Structure 1
Amino acid sequence: MSELERIKIAVKTLISLGIGKNQEEIGTLMGYKSKSSFSQILTNKVPIPSGFVDKLCKLDNRLEKKWIISGEGNILGNIDNPKQVYKDEKQNEIDYFKEKGIPLIPVDAMAGYGAGDVQVMEYEAERFIVPTFKGSDYLISVRGSSMYPKYNSGDIVACKHLPLDTFFQWNKVYVLDTIQGVIIKRVCKAIKEEYVTIVSDNKSYDPFELHRSDIRSIAIVIGVIRLE
């Protein structure tokens, strides 16, 4: 993950913390007078200015500059003594900040993770504290274009683990660990009860049927961090 990608996640985190209502407001708080001048940085049209990360971290002292620059540690720290541009928090959000955060599981190591197999040690996974995703069990990056335009390759989705005998909410997006690998797809009803129909949002990919016994773990997607 590049520094720019971590900056984008930091901006999304500030929005979820209530520091700003949207990306434009975060830019205004940082001193950018126009929406385009701030967005050009996030879209890599202009280089990251000197002191940009320092200005970003001044909006809330829980943001970890070291994580943004190098990826070391966690995105949020100093959770017990927050200092913000303005403050409007609920107690349950404060309690959530004190948790360890949600692990970002690499796709290659995802197989078997939801089923309880030891694939990713706790210390190996980056962790993120995103209040909007409270209750999520893990994060995973989207690969490929099969779910475009719903999800782009590189987006990070938040997932909540479900039991294998779960009652599918038809047409919802799930992360399925299958014998063919990990897939992020819509699950729809099949003609035969022992099967489900796997559907991509990208119409270039044909739907197919998957036997329920080929599914090793199930998680429903409950949110996304989009990297513009």
Structure 2
Amino acid sequence: MTEIERLKIIMERLNFKTQKNFAAGLNIQEGSLSDILRGRIGISNAVRDRLFLKFNVNLEWLEKGTGEPILKKGPVVSETKAGVPYFDISISDMDTLLLEEEKADYFVNYKPFNDCTAYLPVYGDSMYPKYASGEIIAVREVTNLEVLQWGEAYVVMANEKSNHLRSIKLVFEHSNKDKLILRSSNPNFKGDTIIDKASIIGLYIIKGKITRNLI
């Protein structure tokens, strides 16, 4: 059975009678869903995220046929402000304004991370295997740069003095208290980045992640 065939089964399991209604539930154009179901385009990460977050679809089953199509429990998603906002955007395209609730795609009510500031998707492999591309991270804003957890992962946003850096990095103490050491967890991304604390315009500690096989 192909992934497209399994997607059609999921549509039936979720009681969507028409492609139009299913596309609306996924917040995509009906034509885009038609192209997916006809095999003209693949299922994007954004669509996979919505299947998982909005409908508790087991993405392991969708991709490989492993387990059950629908998970028994998981995050609850709504378009009302009930929970933590999810922003479907690459970190490299972020600025602080994009974390305003009014610009959220939807809200995720998931008790372990309800004290967080936002959910964000992971793109790229610089933090693999700690955070893999396609996973969703829960982040909480840090306002005091003098109290950091060394060795933990943060979303770092810097100004023009640090080349507008937007990245997930492990943060380590520098011998100069006015600087920070940033490091990838993927050994293929070698070398440290040193930035001034003063150049940071946004810092978010990663409290956890939602993996595709969350039960």
TM-score range, shorter chain: 0.5 to 0.7
Distance 1:161 1:76 in 2: 22
The alignment status of 1:45 with 2:64, answered yes or no, reads yes
**Is structure 2 residue 196 aligned with structure 1 residue 216?**
no
The one-letter amino acid of 2:64's match is K
Name the structure 2 match of 1:8.
Answer: 52
Once residues 187 and 203 of structure 2 are traced to their aligned partners in structure 1, the CA distance between those partners, rounded to angstroms, is: 23
Match of 2:130 among 150, 153, 162: 150
1:226 maps to which of 198, 211, 215: 211
Equivalent-residue separation in structure 1 for 2:102 and 2:206 (angstroms): 21
Confirm or deny that 1:122 pairs with 2:166. Answer: no
Partner of 1:192: 176
Amino acid at match of 1:145: D
Secondary structure in structure 2 of the residue aligned to 1:132: helix
C-alpha distance in 2 between matches for 1:109 and 1:103 = 17
Q: For structure 1, which runs of at least 5 residues remain unmatched after alignment?
A: 15-22, 24-37, 64-73, 78-97
Residue 165 of structure 2 is aligned to residue 181 of structure 1: yes
Q: 1:201 to 1:99 in 2, by over 3 A?
A: same
* 1:102 is the counterpart of 2:87: no
Aligned to 1:134: 114
1:153 shift after superposition? 0.9
CA distances 1:189-226 after superposition (whole Å, capped 9, x unpaired) = 11222110001101122211111111101111101012
2:192 to 198, 204, 207: 207
Separation in 1, partners of 2:204, 2:153: 9
Residue 5 of structure 1: how far off its partner (Å): 3.5
Q: What is the distance in 1 between the residues matched to 2:124 and 2:142?
A: 24
* Compared CA separation, residues 191 and 131, structure 1 to 2 (3 A): same
Equivalent position SS for 1:75? strand
C-alpha spacing 1:169/1:4, structure 2 compared with 1 (3 Å): closer
Kept in 2, the 8 Å contact 1:164–1:216? The answer is no
Deviations 1:2-46 (A, max 9, x none): 5544343468x69xxxxxxxx8xxxxxxxxxxxxxx94x24x135
> Secondary structure of the equivalent of 1:171?
coil
Structure-1-length-normalised TM-score: 0.59
Shift of the 156–119 alpha-carbon distance from structure 1 to 2, 3 Å rule, reads closer
Q: What fraction of aligned residue pairs are identical, expressed as a percent? A: 20
Q: Which runs of 5+ in 2 are unaligned?
A: 1-44
1:151-192: CA deviations, max 9, x gaps?
001211101111143411110111111122321111001122
Q: Distance in 2 between matches of 1:223 and 1:177?
A: 19
- Pair 143,220 (structure 1): closer, same or farther in 2 beyond 3 Å: same
Which deviations, in whole Å up to 9, do the C-alpha atoms of 1:95-146 show, x marking residues without a partner? xxx9611111223653124xxxx66561542211111102001111111101
Superposed, 1:83-102 pairs within 5 Å as 100-102=82-84
How many pairs are equivalent? 162
Contact 2:86 2:104 in 1 (8 A): no
User: Secondary structure of 1:221's partner?
Assistant: strand
Assess if the C-alpha contact under 8 Å between 1:176 and 1:218 holds in 2: yes
The residue number in structure 2 matching 1:75 is 77
Determine the C-alpha separation between the residues in 2 that align with 1:125 and 1:194: 36
Structure 1 counterpart SS, 2:212: coil
Counterparts of 1:122 and 1:10 in 2: how far apart (Å)? 19
